[in-house]
Amino acid sequence: MSQRLGRRSVACTSGLPCILAACLLSTHPVRGGQPPDWIAFVGSPRLDIPYAIAVDPSGSVYVTGESDGGEPPPGAPPDICDDDDVCLDWLTAKISADGAELWRARHRGPGNSHDDAQAIGVDGEGNVLVAGRTSAPDSPDTFTVVKYAPDGAEVWVRSLVPPGGCDPCYPAVAAISVDAPGEVTWTGTSERFEPAPVPRYVGSFVTARYAADGALLWSSVETPARLPGMPPLPGIQSVSGDGTVHVAGVAHDAVSGVSSIITAAYAPDGAPLWSRRWPQPTALGGPAALGVDGSGAVVVAGSIQISSTDYDFITLKYGRGGEELWSRRYDGPGAPEASWDGATAIAVSPQGAAYVIGTSQADDGRRELALVKYSASAAYVIGTSQADDGRRELALVKYSASGDEIWVRRSDAIGVPVGSANAVILDTDGSVLVSVTGGNLHPVFRCSPAGDLLERRAYESPSGIADVRAVHLEPTGRLYLACDARRPYGDVDYAVLRFTPAPPELRRGDSNATGSVEIGDAVFTLLYLFASGETPACFDAADANDDGSLDVSDPVATLIYLFLGGPPMPEPGPDGCGIDPTPDGLGCLAVECR
């Protein structure tokens, strides 16, 4: 049974177009956080920074990044490793489902210089594929892929010199995909400096695919970027079930002054299918995420810079053959001279609905969660940002199939602490799950296809854990984080945290979530039911007689219990917090029980 929204419900039809509508309704903030199931620390006595995380079906976790191995390059003085940008290796580790480290592997490039792993994936047999950069003082930097066996043994190493054989090149792997046969596809960027005739960087987007045995199946290069003193922004990538590869990036031509969002598609054998450029006003901003629907259409979301202090969401949709279907900007109500809006993540359903997560600014300077929805092959855009008074809001904007704005809802009612929205996924039942990280609190909330807010909880990491570097969110609400662990004397290690949602606790009859049951709870429920009052944060708590529905009999039961010596309230009762033993599906937002 779904939660009743009463007179406060948002008018909409059932299905994906209504997702998140009711998330505007609860004003009870997340007050505290559930601690992690476990924390696994991986590192050396020096500097270790995680950059990517992956989880296999058994629950084992894989993390990779850069680690200061403390060994200087050949011929270099021993103290050169005191520089944090030298003597860096790849460090990859596997952690069991119960948080125990199973193995770790260090990869050192041929020059023993600045090497850093940037992406990780796992194939169906438990082999681990890691991609990143390796460098050497007297040779070009290279894109590198390392394959590890399930026990951590190195199987093969493959390197690809960026276009132009440059030194340095600054190659950066932005995304990696591993499919069932064990083939791996990655995309990234590199740049080289040309001092004449005009000092500039020439940037390239590089995509490559390797077979399971390490054979290079194909590679493709686009060289669209001529940048005044800056490299192209990292690319993004998606590999469809049929093996089609879509990539997107941004580049600015310093000569012509034209800046473009570039989206391209490659066939499974690497043959170019199409490439499209979408002009943007300035060199900054660009795509941050893309997804592909069941028809093969690709949706790209990110940000564009309108002025030095004004950024907007940008969402582009291309058909299977590369035809532009539509492009839409979302400009929040913030003042044009200082409005920071930008998307950061996306999830696309087979039917074409897309959910894009990003940032938006309010008209009074507050930073908000913003959700933009494009209907019919839709896109929802949701994000977070910092308010001048520290408050957070959720905003929902609905667009028609042609992109016309139908309505806007903005509210600080969701009570999400300061942070950044970083992941949005769709469950098989059509519900949408969003995670937010900020400081040590990491809220997660879910809404049903009808727009009901089904759950909202906060996970909390302990002090000393900072800088969330990578996130893995599962449809169950389980959350994995790769963070920095600050150690004494400047040491930094990987910290891998797992959070599993616990059943929410409630106090029976405490409809207004004040921590006690009194006449105000009955009044609160009556106002909700009949006078457009505030929505209870926990419907199971407001269901005072535990009959599986919220109606007038519940405030009556509360009043009889309080003033007429009525029967005891059902478990967990009004005197303490506990779990509802009745599986009625009424729902609770997992806010802290007081």
pLDDT at 13: 32
pLDDT at 127: 96
For the ranges 215-224, 335-344, 400-409, the maximum mean pLDDT occurs at 215-224
> Of 97-101, 175-179, 505-509, which range is least confident?
175-179
Instruction: Supply the mean pLDDT for the chain.
Output: 77
Q: Which residue has the higher pLDDT, 584 or 59?
A: 59
Provide Rg for the chain, Cα atoms. 26
Q: Is pLDDT of 3 > 50?
A: no
189 vs 87: CA distance, rounded Å: 23
Phi and psi dihedrals of 74, rounded to 5? -55, 130
Q: Which residue has the higher pLDDT, 54 or 593?
A: 54
With bands split at pLDDT 50, 70 and 90, how would you rate the model's confidence at 50?
A: very high
Helix axes 553-563, 519-530, angle to 10 degrees: 170
pLDDT at 40: 97
Residue range 386-439, pLDDT digits in tens: 334 434 444 444 333 444 454 444 435 445 554 565 777 778 877 778 887 777
Tokens 């807010």: give the residue: 453
Handedness of CA 187, 192, 197, 198 (dihedral sign): positive
For the segment 109-122, the average pLDDT, to the nearest whole number, is: 85
**What amino acid occupies position 571?**
E
Q: Which residue has the higher pLDDT, 14 or 110?
A: 110
Residue range 559-588, pLDDT digits in tens: 999 999 999 999 999 999 999 998 776 777
Residue range 127-154, pLDDT digits in tens: 999 999 988 766 778 899 999 999 999 9
With bands split at pLDDT 50, 70 and 90, how would you rate the model's confidence at 107?
A: very high
Q: Which residue has the higher pLDDT, 403 or 243?
A: 243
Spatial neighbors of 374 by CB under 8 A, at least 6 apart, are 315, 326, 328, 354, 380, 399, 401, 403
pLDDT at 6: 26
> Of 89-93, 154-158, 221-225, which range is least confident?
221-225
Helix (H) or strand (E) holding 529: helix 519-530
